[in-house]
A and B are shown apart, each in its own frame.
Chain A
Amino acid sequence: MSRPLLQVEKIEVVYKRVITAVQGVTLSVGPKQIVAILGINGAGKTTTLRAISGFLGLDDAHVTEGSISFEGRRIENALPHDIAARGIVLVPERDKVFPNLTVAENLAVPVSRVNAAERRRQDEQIFSLFPRLAELRQRIGGLLSGGERQMLAIAGALMCRPNLLLVDELSLGLAPVVVQDLTRRLLAVRDELGIAILLVEQSAAAALAVADHAYVMESGRVVLDGDRERLKSHQDVQEFYLGQAGGERRSYRAVKQYRRSRRWYG
């Protein structure tokens, strides 16, 4: 792999100066790569994403150790709109579209000072990637369905011309069919625009369908990482994330013990 686009090096994130949410997380995203972060609730996935996109400050959290560099420049604890200007755009977990603006206006919000012809080309590119949005141009954001909102949010983020797209919980509250459709579109986005994508997911099946590389997080640490095939065939992932244990499901206690051993030896 060539030099990574995004390099997160052993970061530690502390909320309100007391709660350590993420510890020693190291991950990297290469150019045109789709990378996923997996984990259960509270594992620190979203916190990691916020650390990268600069949204920690809103919750009085800071990156206290380690470094985040994007295209060779340090960006930890920078302001969100500065980070957006550098080419990292976040699609947040919820409340991702402007409910008072139409689809067309939603897409016009992002800051990109380009001339009309370029703007039109960009519009048409987005509408060819998401034809459904072209049909909904005049509909206001608040009246869209969950899947349409997710599409609109991703399309809006793409209007910023990012080099790295961060998507928090692509599958949250969406039907599996819709998730499948969205993941296919993400692949198309990557191929057509040549950008890198970092996904945060709870649904391992959805994430491993598209990701080239994935990191599994537990209790604020990365416990496992590898390319898609390795993770898909990894016994722990099959058991705890893909639900393919085969036969009896393990008891809660066994799961707990597994987690503890991970924490200690991971």
Chain B
Amino acid sequence: MFRPVPRASGYFRTAYGQDLALLQTRVERVSLAVFLLFLAGFPFVASPFALDLACQVFLASVGALSLMLLTGYAGQISLGHAGLIAAGAFTTGILAREIHAPFWITLPASAIIGIVLGFVFGLPSLRLRGLYLAVSTLALHFVVIYLGGEYETKRGFSTGIIVEPPSLAGFRLSGGRFWYFVLLAAAAISLLICINLLRSRSGRAFRAVHARETVAEALGISIAGYKLLAFVISSSMTSVAGCLFAYYRGFVSIEAFDLFLTIQYVAMIIIGGMGSLLGALLGATFVTLFPYAIEALLHLLPNVEKLAGDIFAVNYASFGVVMILFLVFEPLGLVGIWHQLQNYFLLWPFKYRPLAGARK
């Protein structure tokens, strides 16, 4: 994708091939390598708690990326995200429980369930938009949660379904570090899929449909087809995230997928910055770590024992406050702040320079 942020200096693309390279400059390559080294080394120095947090961030990243694809790029608002994660998790849980299906069956099965649900609940998007579409996708959430709840009570797993860790060639795949790398890979693959999808014909069509439906149609893009495609791709990715969630937690229960989870995902892409994959990652990190940060802050206060009962309330309230602050002061989200920082250092010590134009 092309970035509106200027590069430091003197970097000109002179061949069409250069437009296609994912990493354009040496600085980008080096910083990515350093970041990857950090990610690879992290599990060997981190505490199990930090490891768990990282895994949660990776899981949230997969979900946030898929929602960003649908809402941030294709412009279709969805409140059914928690429902889709639940669908993937329940598919995995039920298959593993009922027929002892191995993970190489449950994973594609979750993806297929996601595709079907995405198609069915994408259909309203052909007629509805904005808030109305959001409400219709909310139905998805309740349908899935209802079915999951019915299954739990009928089969007598009223507290939830226990999912055995997957095994490959007789080895049980479990342990914090193992899952760290699995989820890291899942997040990285999702990111690559998103980046390349958005650079392709379909990705441009998504953004075109988002911005100007009429013009897109005049240029020969089938609006209905691409809207449904966006729903299907996003839903299947989310469902796969749900499958991984089920294995990682080893436990599936409808309580984990309440409406607040959907709100959290929407918050991730808003706080992260609409229309940016980096925003999805930043938002996922922020929203996942935020409650823990608040809790850590509260523990710094004196007489924290008296507050013990209120921590949840404080958490919810501060989440709301942060959300409002972002909407008011930085509608572009964390990625907007990041770009401002980048620009500041690029332009330092000069205050202002016209953005493009000067660059031929």
Interface residues of A (CB under 8 A from B): 53, 55, 58, 80-81, 84-85, 89-92, 95-102, 104-105, 108-111, 120, 135-136, 138-140, 143, 153, 156-157, 159-160
Mark B261-290 against chain A: 1 for CB-CB distance below 8 A, else 0.
000000000000001000000000000000
- The A-B contact count (CB < 8 A) is 87
Interface residues of B (CB under 8 A from A): 2, 4, 16, 19, 201, 204-205, 207-208, 210-212, 214-223, 275, 355-357, 359-360
Whole-angstrom distance between the Cβ of A136 and the nearest chain B Cβ:
8
A77 to B276, CA, bound (A): 38
Are A81 and B221 also in contact (CB < 8 A) when A97-B215, A111-B201, A143-B356 are?
yes
B217–A81 touching, CB < 8 Å:
yes
- Note all chain A residues with C-beta closer than 8 A to B360: 135
- Note all chain B residues with C-beta closer than 8 A to A156: 219
A104 to B1, CA, bound (A): 11
A101 to B75, CA, bound (A): 14
A98–B212 touching, CB < 8 Å:
yes
A153 to B222, CA, bound (A): 18
A80 to B356, CA, bound (A): 35
Contact of B2 among A81, A90, A102, A153 (CB under 8 A): A102
A90 to B355, CA, bound (A): 31
- Note all chain A residues with C-beta closer than 8 A to B19: 104
Contact of A100 among B16, B211, B357 (CB under 8 A): B211
A111 to B205, CA, bound (A): 9
Whole-angstrom distance between the Cβ of A117 and the nearest chain B Cβ:
10
A109 to B205, CA, bound (A): 6
- Note all chain B residues with C-beta closer than 8 A to A55: 214, 217-218
A138–B221 touching, CB < 8 Å:
no
Closest A residue to B73 by beta carbon equals A100
A101–B217 touching, CB < 8 Å:
no
- Note all chain B residues with C-beta closer than 8 A to A104: 2, 19
Q: Which applies to chain A's interface (DSSP): helix, strand, loop or mixed?
A: mixed
A84–B212 touching, CB < 8 Å:
no
Are A89 and B16 also in contact (CB < 8 A) when A98-B211, A101-B211 are?
no
A92–B218 touching, CB < 8 Å:
yes
Whole-angstrom distance between the Cβ of B257 and the nearest chain A Cβ:
32
- Note all chain B residues with C-beta closer than 8 A to A111: 201, 219-221
A146 to B223, CA, bound (A): 26
- Note all chain A residues with C-beta closer than 8 A to B217: 55, 80-81, 84
A138–B356 touching, CB < 8 Å:
yes
B207–A157 touching, CB < 8 Å:
no
A55 to B223, CA, bound (A): 13
Whole-angstrom distance between the Cβ of B63 and the nearest chain A Cβ:
23
Q: A55-B214, A89-B219, A89-B220 are in contact. List 19 more A-B contacts (CB 8 A).
A: A81-B220, A81-B223, A84-B220, A92-B215, A96-B215, A98-B208, A98-B215, A98-B216, A100-B275, A101-B211, A105-B2, A109-B221, A120-B16, A136-B356, A138-B2, A138-B356, A138-B359, A159-B219, A160-B219
- Note all chain A residues with C-beta closer than 8 A to B223: 81
A218 to B201, CA, bound (A): 42
- Note all chain A residues with C-beta closer than 8 A to B16: 120
Q: Which of B207, B212, B214, B275 counts the most A-chain CB atoms under 10 A from its CB?
A: B212
A266 to B360, CA, bound (A): 54
